[in-house]
């Protein structure tokens, strides 16, 4: 049990105000270098400083210590002991990088255990090996051949027969072969495994899970709560359907070593006899049965072999299985990768999701939350913030965390905290949510918010009264050529997304009902229950097929007072076969068209919560979670759309103070509400009234707000807070430049040098990563792109070559006390203007792997800096930096050192001498106060992680969210200094500053290596700083 402190009848207010480790985030900690015990233990202190409750020990790109070795496990043990001492949690991770199953390639060294694909094409197989020989050697083998007859006009399958390899076909001859996955550098020159094979996953468990048990098993269900499995799947192939029915193309379908034998055992028929029906449509649509059975079988085999075996082992050993599976949000994605996502969660102790790129995938979260609810799981996990880039700010962090919390997430796994930024590690899907980010010490402001929220949202039981049949099985039977079924599949997927959003935006919370899980979750003694949940209504969203077991359940559900709502037409198929069996139920049920208004009207009797604008119109883009906690109710409300969250377009009152949106939260029953402020830990009164047997809460909501309300036994029937209108004494604007302070030295990026391999000819200027790959290509080394083998599997041979880079530095001034920041400083031979520079480390910049060395004085005019480094397969050529008290101008690809400005104006600092600066900057604003009064500071538009405002020498107050106000009480008469700090981000220093694609959201290794019109040698920089001047009001 993770939340052992939730047994009390009442919420412990001390716990709410200062939550313990289990309620706090536990980031992916990227082990991405040669592991060093001292460094590892020191970094755990950073996690605690940031407010996190633990960490996931996650081998990532750059790992140089042999994976799962005794040395590796020794570091794991040390981390567990350190976590125990610090009252933190140490979470395990079951793979070297991802996706889970190969154990860093150890499992798939055995060719029998490698992933299999059925290749269906018109290409005659070349190999004549038997199945056993081919599997053992990792080669392709022949499975079956077919005589295919297609209607030349419609493309329908009018006839087919299975024939021999040498037999002539009357129509077109197609071949089915089984291909074994080839060596892949991402899996350390092995491959992904066969996840639909029991023996393969047993080997994975033996190599990985048992190794962790040996190392830290005594701490399972204690300091070590869980092991994270990441993106398991049975296929990532994209060509699983024909583009056109009459087109000859190669398809790759999920398969397994003993697929046809296991299929025969399960269904009593040979899948190979029916295989063409999986590819094409027959005129009478008898093909739907084959399609249905195939996808159901794939999904079940995957669940049995991977999830059930891993989850079963964990349950036996007191360890929770957590993590997420691959490709979650759409029917199309999940059918191709797992067949059916929800059934995969059945053996997860803490089911989880993956939310990348600042996306809002309501279906992803709802699928997982539904299983959590129905199976009574105590927690739900999310890997979040991944691939959001360096400039993703606290507004983005809060928005993503808030809406996911409303849909059940209580275990937050921020992606990603880098152990090191050395080499390719710094491009591993930034930002680093760790000490490398200039704002890391401010993160408790956010983390405390979520920890407090989790102390509440893990209590009691969820209140959900509506079930929704998940339509994935309807998608199975529409598999086929895109020109025939592509549009119907697109409509199914669109309807899936639409009905989900309609219900959530209409404030009718619901659970998906997965038909494969339903029989095991039914309760004959409580016919309206599915597992731990009881429903008043079940909605069928225009499904094409239902299971016979589902129809039986729905009949009993209606017999016991439940409402069944069919949207659209009556399902024409049952268990994947054409049938009229659903018509009786359809005739008894409520029938509506497929639209939002009809759905809302039908479900109105089930409503518990309504959220409206003060105008009476529904409040859009808000969702909620409600929980019953004894006699009390908890209600949490969050935004699920970011429109306006980063702007300052709120309407202003005549008093010039920023105003939010006035909403009313209407709850059935009469209660006394209180607002639990999760940012401050305070409990506050809130305006409300009782009306018509309902409680109406009135609240002014801002774009970044979320609300946690507790509804208890009422003591009175109305409480209205009257806002006080302040008497404004003075208003201060700033229409001039101001002094400022930098927290770090200013920086000049050097990333486009001339270069030389060994003692060869000098080559023209080139961007550093491009020249690195140019050299690798010349030496026949593997390129450093998104997929390459880990250092721990590459022999650590002495580099056989050298590379020299030559940077030309232009300066208007002489620069003293400058530092050069670079990686592998101890290996570098450095010269400045022909004179040697000592490579002794003077410190480090941003990350411990980027060391600094002292430079002689940079002269006015032109200087030449050369750096010579040994170069081998494991070497990294990276940009370097000059640090110091100077300014920088950027003109296209050229840079120029200038005087550092003494004062700056409000606006982007990249235009004011600091184009590559990624640290924090504090503006110093003089304020004259004529009489003792209060002071309100309203920030204008800013770009940075967050801001902090301090008056004189007092502690600063964070300002990250709308309405961007901070108030100082009882300010004395006289002159004061207002210190306004903008916390920077590292994009302009370490980001993909040559990527000029206007629409780009996948910020991983390849985003630094774009091509064509998406590439620019000119610097593509982002704004940082206070972009508009603040407004200061003095009032009483």
Residue 999, pLDDT score: 86
Indicate if the pLDDT at residue 684 is higher than 70: yes
Strand partners, 610: 666
371 Cβ partners below 8 Å, 6+ apart? 342, 345, 346, 351, 377, 514, 517
Report pLDDT digits (tens) over 460-487. 999 999 999 999 999 999 999 999 999 9
Tokens found for residue 241: 């359907």
- CA end-to-end distance (rounded Å), the chain: 52
Compute φ and ψ for 811, nearest 5 degrees: -145, 140
Residue 733, pLDDT score: 86
Closest C-alpha among 722, 611, 631, 706 to residue 671:
631
Q: How confident is the model at residue 737 (pLDDT cuts 50, 70, 90)?
A: very high
Residue 649, pLDDT score: 44
Residue 786, pLDDT score: 65
The single residue listed with the structure tokens 């969702």 is 623
Q: How confident is the model at residue 650 (pLDDT cuts 50, 70, 90)?
A: very low
Report pLDDT digits (tens) over 267-291. 999 999 999 999 999 999 999 999 9
Helices (H), 506-652: 518-521, 548-559, 583-588, 596-603
Strand partners, 808: 864
Residue 127, pLDDT score: 78
Q: How confident is the model at residue 622 (pLDDT cuts 50, 70, 90)?
A: very high
User: CA 162, CA 173: separation in Å to the nearest integer?
Assistant: 10
- Identify the structural domains of the chain with CATH numbers, from first to last: 4-106+201-235+314-462 (3.20.20.80), 110-194+249-288 (no CATH), 466-606 (no CATH), 622-722 (2.60.220), 732-743+900-1035 (2.60.120.260), 747-781+794-884 (2.60.120)
Tokens found for residue 579: 């049938």
Strand partners, 537: 466, 563
Closest C-alpha among 828, 75, 142, 149 to residue 419:
75
Residue 657, pLDDT score: 62
Helices (H), 167-224: 198-204, 210-216
Residue 722, pLDDT score: 85
Residue 645, pLDDT score: 42
Task: Confirm if 827 and 841 have CB atoms less than 8 A apart.
Answer: no
3-state secondary structure of 471: coil
Indicate if the pLDDT at residue 16 is higher than 50: yes
Report pLDDT digits (tens) over 771-792. 999 999 999 998 887 688 999 9
* Cis peptide preceding 431, ω within 30 of 0: yes
Q: What is the mean pLDDT of the chain?
A: 96
């Amino acid at each position: 049990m993770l939340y052992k402190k939730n047994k009390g009848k009442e919420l412990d207010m001390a716990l709410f105000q200062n939550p313990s480790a289990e309620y706090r985030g536990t980031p992916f900690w990227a082990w991405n270098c040669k592991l060093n015990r001292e460094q590892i233990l020191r970094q755990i202190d950073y996690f605690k400083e940031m407010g996190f409750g633990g960490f996931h020990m996650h081998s990532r790109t750059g790992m140089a210590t042999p994976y799962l070795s005794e040395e590796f496990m020794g570091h794991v043990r040390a981390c567990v002991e350190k976590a125990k001492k610090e009252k933190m949690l140490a979470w395990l991770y079951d793979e070297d990088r991802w996706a889970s199953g190969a154990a860093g390639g150890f499992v798939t060294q055995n060719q029998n255990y490698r992933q299999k694909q059925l290749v269906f094409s018109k290409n005659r197989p070349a190999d004549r090996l038997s199945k056993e020989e081919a599997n053992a050697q990792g080669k392709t083998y022949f499975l079956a051949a077919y005589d295919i007859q297609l209607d030349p006009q419609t493309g329908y399958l009018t006839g087919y027969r299975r024939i021999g390899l040498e037999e002539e076909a009357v129509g077109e001859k197609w071949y089915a072969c089984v291909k074994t996955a080839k060596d892949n550098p991402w899996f350390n020159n092995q491959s992904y495994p066969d996840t639909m094979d029991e023996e393969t996953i047993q080997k994975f468990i033996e190599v990985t899970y048992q190794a962790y048990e040996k190392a830290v098993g005594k701490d399972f269900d204690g300091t070590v709560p869980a092991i994270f499995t990441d993106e398991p799947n049975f296929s990532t192939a994209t060509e699983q359907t024909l583009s056109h029915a009459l087109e000859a193309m190669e398809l790759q379908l999920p398969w397994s070593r003993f697929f046809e034998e296991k299929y025969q055992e399960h269904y009593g028929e040979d899948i190979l006899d029916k295989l063409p029906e999986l590819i094409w449509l027959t005129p009478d649509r008898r093909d739907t049965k084959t399609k249905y059975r195939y996808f159901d079988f794939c999904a079940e085999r995957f669940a049995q072999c991977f999830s059930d075996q891993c989850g079963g082992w964990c349950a036996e050993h007191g360890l929770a299985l957590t993590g997420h599976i691959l490709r979650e949000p759409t029917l199309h994605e999940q059918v191709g990768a797992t067949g059916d996502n929800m059934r995969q969660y059945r053996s997860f102790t803490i089911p989880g999701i993956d939310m990348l790129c600042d996306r809002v995938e309501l279906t992803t979260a709802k699928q997982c939350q539904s299983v959590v609810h129905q199976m009574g799981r105590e927690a739900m996990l999310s890997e979040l913030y991944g691939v959001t880039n360096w400039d993703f700010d606290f507004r983005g962090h809060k928005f993503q965390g808030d809406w996911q919390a409303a849909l059940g997430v209580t275990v937050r796994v921020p992606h990603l905290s880098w152990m090191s930024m050395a080499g390719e590690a710094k491009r591993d899907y930034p930002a680093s949510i760790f000490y490398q980010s200039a704002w890391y010490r401010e993160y408790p402001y956010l983390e405390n918010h979520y920890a407090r929220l989790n102390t509440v949202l893990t209590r009691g039981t969820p209140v959900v009264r509506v079930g929704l049949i998940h339509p994935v099985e309807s998608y199975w039977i529409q598999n086929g050529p895109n020109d025939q079924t592509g549009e119907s599949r697109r409509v199914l997927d669109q309807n899936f997304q639409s009905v989900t959003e309609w219900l959530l935006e209409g404030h009718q919370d619901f659970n998906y009902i997965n038909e494969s899980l339903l029989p095991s979750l039914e309760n004959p003694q409580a016919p309206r229950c599915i597992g731990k949940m009881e429903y008043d209504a079940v909605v069928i969203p225009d499904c094409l097929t239902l299971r016979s077991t589902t129809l039986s359940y729905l009949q009993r559900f209606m017999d016991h007072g439940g409402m069944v709502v069919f949207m659209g037409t009556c399902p024409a198929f049952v268990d994947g076969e054409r049938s009229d069996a659903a018509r009786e139920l359809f005739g008894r049920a409520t029938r509506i068209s497929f639209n939002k208004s009809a759905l809302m009207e039908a479900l109105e009797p089930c409503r518990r919560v309504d959220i409206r604008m003060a105008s009476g119109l529904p409040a859009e883009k808000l969702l909620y979670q409600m929980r019953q906690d004894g006699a009390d109710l908890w209600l949490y409300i969050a935004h699920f759309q970011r429109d306006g969250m980063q702007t300052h377009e709120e309407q202003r009152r005549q008093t010039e103070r920023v105003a939010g949106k006035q909403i009313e939260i209407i709850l059935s029953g009469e209660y006394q509400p209180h607002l639990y402020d999760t940012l401050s830990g305070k409990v506050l009164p809130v305006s409300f009234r009782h009306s018509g047997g309902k409680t109406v809460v009135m609240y002014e909501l801002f774009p970044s707000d979320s609300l946690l309300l507790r509804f208890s036994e009422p003591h009175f029937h109305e409480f209205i807070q009257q806002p006080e209108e302040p008497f404004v004494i003075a208003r201060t604007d700033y229409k001039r430049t101001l002094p400022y302070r930098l927290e770090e030295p200013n920086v000049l990026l050097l990333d486009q040098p001339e270069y030389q391999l060994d003692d060869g000819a000098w080559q023209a200027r080139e961007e550093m990563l491009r020249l690195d790959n140019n050299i690798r290509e010349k030496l026949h080394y593997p390129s450093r792109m998104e997929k390459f083998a880990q250092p721990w599997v590459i022999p650590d041979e002495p580099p056989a070559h050298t590379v020299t880079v030559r940077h030309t530095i232009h300066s208007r001034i002489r620069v003293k006390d400058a530092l050069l920041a670079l990686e592998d400083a101890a290996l570098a031979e450095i010269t400045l203007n022909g004179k040697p520079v000592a490579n002794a480390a003077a410190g480090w910049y941003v990350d411990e792997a980027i060391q600094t060395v002292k430079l002689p004085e940079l002269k006015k005019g032109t200087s030449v800096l050369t750096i010579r480094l040994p170069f081998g397969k494991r070497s990294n050529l990276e940009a370097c930096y000059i640090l110091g008290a100077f300014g920088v101008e950027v003109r296209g690809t050229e840079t120029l050192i200038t005087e550092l400005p003494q004062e700056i104006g409000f606006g982007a600092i990249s235009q004011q001498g600091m184009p590559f600066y990624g640290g924090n900057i504090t503006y110093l604003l003089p304020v004259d106060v004529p009489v003792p009064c209060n002071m309100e500071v309203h920030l204008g538009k800013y770009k940075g992680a967050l801001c902090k405002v301090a008056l004189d020498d007092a502690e600063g107050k964070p300002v990250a969210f709308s309405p961007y106000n901070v108030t100082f009480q009882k300010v004395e008469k006289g002159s004061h200094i207002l210190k306004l700090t903008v916390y920077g981000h590292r994009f302009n220093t370490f980001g993909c500053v040559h990527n000029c694609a206007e629409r780009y959201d996948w910020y991983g290794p390849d985003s630094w290596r774009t091509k064509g019109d998406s590439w620019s040698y000119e610097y593509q920089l982002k704004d940082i700083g206070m972009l508009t001047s603040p407004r200061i009001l003095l009032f009483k």
